[in-house]
Amino acid sequence: MSTLTESRTSAHVGRLFDVATSLQRQGSLDEAEELYRCILAVEPRHVAALNNLGNVRQTLGHGSEAVAHYRNALAIRPDLAEALSNLGNALHALGRFEEAIAHCQRALAISPDHAGAHNNCGNSLHALGRHDEALRHFERALSIDPASAEIQCNVGVVLAALGRRDEAISCFERSLAINSGYAEAHRNLADTLQALDRTAEAIAHYQKALAVRPDYAEARSNLGNVLQRLKRFAEAIAHYERALAVRPDYVDAHCNLGDALLSVGRTEDAVGHFETAIALEPDRAVAHHHLGIALQAIGRLEEAHQAFEQAVRLAPGQVRFHLNLASSKPFAAGDPRLAALETLAHDAAALGEDDRIMLHFAMAKAFADLGRHERSFRHLLEGNRLKRQQVAYDEAAMLSIFERMRSGVTRELMQEKRGGGDRSAAPVFVLGMPRSGTTLVEQILASHSKVFGAGELETFGATVASFARSRHATHGIVDLLPTLSGEDVRAIGADYLARIRPAAGAAERIVNKLPSNYLFVGIIHLALPNARIIHTLRDPVDTCFSNFSLLFAETQAFAYDLGELGRYYKAYDAIMRHWRDVLPPGVMLDVRYEDLVDDVEANARRIIAHCGLDWEDGCLTFHQTRRPVRTASSAQVRQPIYRSSVGRWRPYRDLLQPLLDALDARDSTACP
């Protein structure tokens, strides 16, 4: 080729390269790629084109191809710091963090002030948990390029990982001052705000990130997490589903969606998403753990136990996994699960407080199963003591609520307000102290073809609270009830029905088994005069001891001190006696757990008749009914009736004196 021809070719390639880089900056990546390939067809050793083609393929999500292009460039120019830095970035995206760091360090040996190489090195160090080293590289990069929104954001990310959240927030805000449309900064700021419980601000920044990048799967999934914590499950599910539409292999979104579906009773769908997450990432311990929770809820108990076992195998340091494994099956002599718990206990000082609490409850369960009652109780005392320190429980205020209810919601007031309400016979409320048999009664009811068991719904309380706020009733029902007109009372009932009906389909009865609805019995009857109320009772000491033995998923603030627990029980018992006194006959049925155990059929027939339904024999085989049950009794109601829970407290008699004193009981008293 003549010198003139070479010159013309070189000039042509130069023009093509300028056009390609311009297209790349504008985001026209496909066109830019085509031109880079044309250049390389003419000049295969065009290092800049190889490097830029690698950048295009990396941006388009083809990391392995990008690596190949960077390596080709470096085969020609081993000292090209830009290509070494870019190769490090591509390897980072493939999860090859150590290799990424090595290439970035080579780039920095050649060009110590290469901001991109410092930034990329920081990213990989951060991914490996080497946050202090990462911070040094990010700060060096920022000193070189202080106008980079990306580097400012990365400094914030590592500061947040180091627990320096206020400083992290400042970095994210500076990043957004440089580029208000930087979606990553909005998302990371939202993550940090949420960690500080600044929920409304977090939601606003997730929404800003998604306004810039609607396909930003991480922001969408994290927004779903916030909404799920706020119990806005339908919105959370919609965001998870949109995240998965963008990234079908997004394991976190599958797990988060599974959790949300589990919360709304779509348990089979939840199982599917957990299984998909495991198929995508078999070593994701949390996916196995949550699969176990879902399988347990639908009665696939042996599979649930196996899922918990796998979670523990994959993450033996996760105490929560051990706790659910301990709860999934009784312990036997020589049980390896106990040895694993004792190994954790040996290093308990290194555990966080939440983990120590869970460990004590798991070990209490193990020793109770093995009949080693005194040792079991020592763990219960310590676990409850630690938990009580975390709980903001104002006993005087709580007992005052009970007293105001008894003195304020009188028989006369009930008679004055009676006659309104929504007349539907669909609602059924199963209520009582936790651990008194509410789940068992609901399962019997839900085994009837015309009954939908809705589980523990906070819906009625939420409706009443909304009315109370609108009337500025600072003391809740006691202040609210005298102000309600007949239309108001009907509206409360209608609102409750409108909220619970969609999930129940055509069911003639809809059971809400939230135990604490006993606080609302009076207004339940006024708002829903044809609703049936079933009050479950169990031996007081058995009830309280069962509460004390359980680490509740939802905090029962009264349950972690024996004296407080006994006094709470007495206040609950007094309010239930009050409701019996002010309600008309036939509205509320008392079902004693011990009577139910002694004669299942007779008491099941009473329950079904109380709800105005014809008897069905399926109500006696309740343990075979396939439906989600998400309470601590989910395993028990998959078995026929057994008596082992009756008198469970007696082996601990000498250890329970604070409870017995609070109950004014030397021995187990008769149920009221």
pLDDT digits (tens, 9 = 90+) for 373-402: 999 999 999 999 999 999 999 999 999 989
Q: Give the residue ranges of DSSP H helices in 230-284.
A: 233-246, 251-263, 267-280
Which of these, 569, 451, 448, lies nearest to 507 by C-alpha position?
451
Cβ within 8 Å of residue 629, ≥6 positions away: 297, 298, 299, 439, 443, 455, 637, 638
Q: pLDDT tens across 418-429, in order? A: 888 999 999 999
Q: What pLDDT does residue 670 have?
A: 40
Task: Give the residue-averaged pLDDT of 304-329.
Answer: 94
Task: Give the residue-averaged pLDDT of 230-243.
Answer: 95
89 pLDDT more than 80 = yes
Task: Give the residue-averaged pLDDT of 551-560.
Answer: 86
Mean pLDDT check: name the lowest of 136-150, 335-349, 399-413, 655-669: 655-669
- Name the phi and psi angles at 500, rounded to 5: -95, -20
Q: What is the mean pLDDT of the chain?
A: 89
119 pLDDT more than 80 = yes
Q: pLDDT tens across 488-528, in order? A: 899 999 999 999 999 898 999 999 999 999 999 999 999 99
- Confidence category of residue 7, pLDDT binned at 50, 70, 90: low
Q: What pLDDT does residue 476 have?
A: 62
Sketch the domain layout of the chain as residue ranges: 316-390, 402-663
Q: What pLDDT does residue 397 have?
A: 92
Pick 633 or 420 by higher pLDDT: 420
- Confidence category of residue 644, pLDDT binned at 50, 70, 90: low
The tokens of 340 are what?
């694993």
- C-beta of residue 542 within 8 angstroms of C-beta of residue 660: no
- C-beta of residue 12 within 8 angstroms of C-beta of residue 25: no
Q: How many CB atoms lie within 10 A of CB 474?
A: 10
630 pLDDT more than 70 = no
Mean pLDDT check: name the lowest of 107-121, 199-213, 234-248, 639-653: 639-653
668 pLDDT more than 50 = no
Q: What pLDDT does residue 636 have?
A: 53
Mapped onto helix, strand or coil, the DSSP state of residue 97 is: helix
Alpha-carbon gap, residue 632 to 360, rounded angstroms: 17
Task: Give the residue-averaged pLDDT of 432-458.
Answer: 91
Q: pLDDT tens across 295-306, in order? A: 988 888 899 999
- Confidence category of residue 278, pLDDT binned at 50, 70, 90: very high
Alpha-carbon gap, residue 446 to 450, rounded angstroms: 8
Q: In terms of C-beta density within 10 A (0-12 exposed, 13-18 middle, 19 or more buried), how is residue 100 classed?
A: buried
The tokens of 599 are what?
């004669």
Mapped onto helix, strand or coil, the DSSP state of residue 295 is: helix
The top-scoring range by mean pLDDT among 8-17, 162-171, 546-555 is 162-171
Pick 672 or 641 by higher pLDDT: 641
**pLDDT over 90, % of the chain:** 69
- CATH class of this structure's domain 402-663: alpha beta
- Confidence category of residue 16, pLDDT binned at 50, 70, 90: confident
Task: Give the residue-averaged pLDDT of 120-139.
Answer: 92
Q: pLDDT tens across 647-666, in order? A: 788 888 889 999 999 998 54
- Name the phi and psi angles at 510, rounded to 5: -125, 115
Q: What pLDDT does residue 403 have?
A: 92
Task: Give the residue-averaged pLDDT of 581-601.
Answer: 93
Q: What pLDDT does residue 207 have?
A: 97
Q: pLDDT tens across 360-374, in order? A: 999 999 999 999 999
In our burial notation (b when 16+ CB lie closer than 10 A, e otherwise), range 600-635 reads beebbebbbebbebeeeeebbebbebebbbbbbbbb
Inter-CA distances, 47 with 56, 65, 72, Å: 14, 16, 8
